[in-house]
Structure 1
Amino acid sequence: MLNLLRKNNIVAGILAIIRIYIGYEFLHAGIGKITSGGFDASGFLKGAIASSAGEHPAVQGWWAAFLENIALPNADLFSFLVQWGEVLVGIALILGLLTNFATLMGMVMNFSFLFSGTVSTNGQMILLAFFVLVAGANAGKFGVDRYAMPYVRNFMGTKRNDNRVPAN
């Protein structure tokens, strides 16, 4: 199964469709926040913190503590990161540029939203993103990664299938 995900051209095409769908969802959400006249995450953060109380909390205490002590005092920074993070992840996934990194960052955002008590399409997006992430380079085969990754590997000093053992 892993070999199919990582090598098959038909699967690469299906992954491109999934990748573009996820990218569109992120781009659409991010542009909506940017053009709405000032996205402010503080209301969302306060609601998530409030959801950590009661008999059946929707938000775990450790996450609520992070939101209350780190995110809420820095709500302007988190607002900026969410809206622009969604836009950049969306663009990267649509183009197939740095696909694995963009997918991972999208998953981090979706998990953050889930931890904060929202459901929406976050679980579905994580599931789809999991396949894109596991597929590795095959997910960006029909995208800019096809051309960009050889340059990235060269810049990083790595080569595909390089089996050398690093010297100590």
Structure 2
Amino acid sequence: MMNFLRQSRTASLILTLIRVFLGVQWLEAGLGKLLAEEGFSASGIISGALNGNANPAYPWFTSFLSFTTNAGENTFLFDSLIPWGQVLVGLALIFGAFTLLAGWAGLLMNSSFLLAGIISENPTFIYLQIIILIAGFNSARVGLDYWITPMLRRKFPFLHNDISTIRS
């Protein structure tokens, strides 16, 4: 299974479909927040997690939220990070540019939402992003990473791994 995910051209096409699907979902979510008339505020999400109004949130994560937002009073950092993070992850996944970084960032956001007690599509997206990360370069073979990754690996030798076996 690992060889199929990491080296098969068929898998790269399937991974491209998964990657673009996730990218569109992230982009729509982020643009919806950025273009909303009333603007986006994470205060509802954060106060729901802190006060236990949502599904039960993890205690250590609510401690983190309480610490970083002054008990939910200052959410301005998350008000910007969430929508812009969603837009950037969406664009990166759609175009296949810095795919593994975008997959990791999306996984981090989905996990954070899940830890805050927001279930929705987060578990599904987590599984799909894990598949993208396991597949490595093959998940971005059809995309801008086809050119970006070899260029970065020439400039930064510590990034070398199995790309030569994939491209040949």
Query: Is 1:60 aligned to 2:58, yes or no?
Result: yes
Structure 1 residue 79: Cα displacement = 1.0
Q: 1:21, 1:161 → 2: CA distance?
A: 27
Q: Which residue of 1 aligns with 2:51?
A: 50
Q: Residue 124 of structure 2 aligns to a residue in which SS?
A: helix
Q: 2:84, 2:74 → 1: CA distance?
A: 16
Q: 1:69, 1:7 → 2: CA distance?
A: 44
Structure 1 residue 68: Cα displacement = 1.2
Q: How many residues align?
A: 159
Unaligned stretches of 5+ residues in structure 2:
163-168
Query: Is 1:4 aligned to 2:4, yes or no?
Result: yes
Q: Which amino acid aligns with 1:70?
A: T
Scaled by the length of structure 2, the TM-score of the pair is 0.89
Q: Which amino acid aligns with 1:42?
A: S
Asked whether the equivalents of residues 52 and 59 of structure 1 are also in contact (C-alpha less than 8 Å), the reply is: no
* RMSD over equivalenced CA pairs, Å: 1.7
Structure 1 residue 159: Cα displacement = 5.7
Q: Which residue of 1 aligns with 2:27?
A: 27
Scaled by the length of structure 1, the TM-score of the pair is 0.89
Q: 2:31, 2:18 → 1: CA distance?
A: 20
Q: Which residue of 1 aligns with 2:14?
A: 14
Structure 1 residue 151: Cα displacement = 1.2
Q: Judging changes above 3 Å, is the alpha-carbon distance between structure 1 residues 161 and 44 closer, same or farther for their aligned structure 2 residues?
A: closer
Q: Judging changes above 3 Å, is the alpha-carbon distance between structure 1 residues 52 and 67 closer, same or farther for their aligned structure 2 residues?
A: farther
Q: Residue 118 of structure 1 aligns to a residue in which SS?
A: coil
Q: Which residue of 2 aligns with 1:145?
A: 145
Question: Which digits, 9 at most, give the CA deviation of each residue in 1:110-165, with x for residues without a partner?
Answer: 00000000110000000111110000000000000001111111222346348xxx
Q: Which residue of 2 aligns with 1:165?
A: none
Q: 2:92, 2:161 → 1: CA distance?
A: 25
Q: 2:159, 2:106 → 1: CA distance?
A: 26
Worse-superposed segment, 74-83 or 20-29: 74-83
Q: Residue 75 of structure 2 aligns to a residue in which SS?
A: helix
Q: Judging changes above 3 Å, is the alpha-carbon distance between structure 1 residues 84 and 159 closer, same or farther for their aligned structure 2 residues?
A: closer
- Identity in percent: 39
Structure 1 residue 46: Cα displacement = 0.3
Q: Residue 92 of structure 2 aligns to a residue in which SS?
A: helix
Structure 1 residue 63: Cα displacement = 1.0
Q: How does 1:149-164 map to 2 (within 5 A)?
A: 149-158=149-158, 160-161=160-161
Q: 2:90, 2:74 → 1: CA distance?
A: 24
Structure 1 residue 62: Cα displacement = 1.1
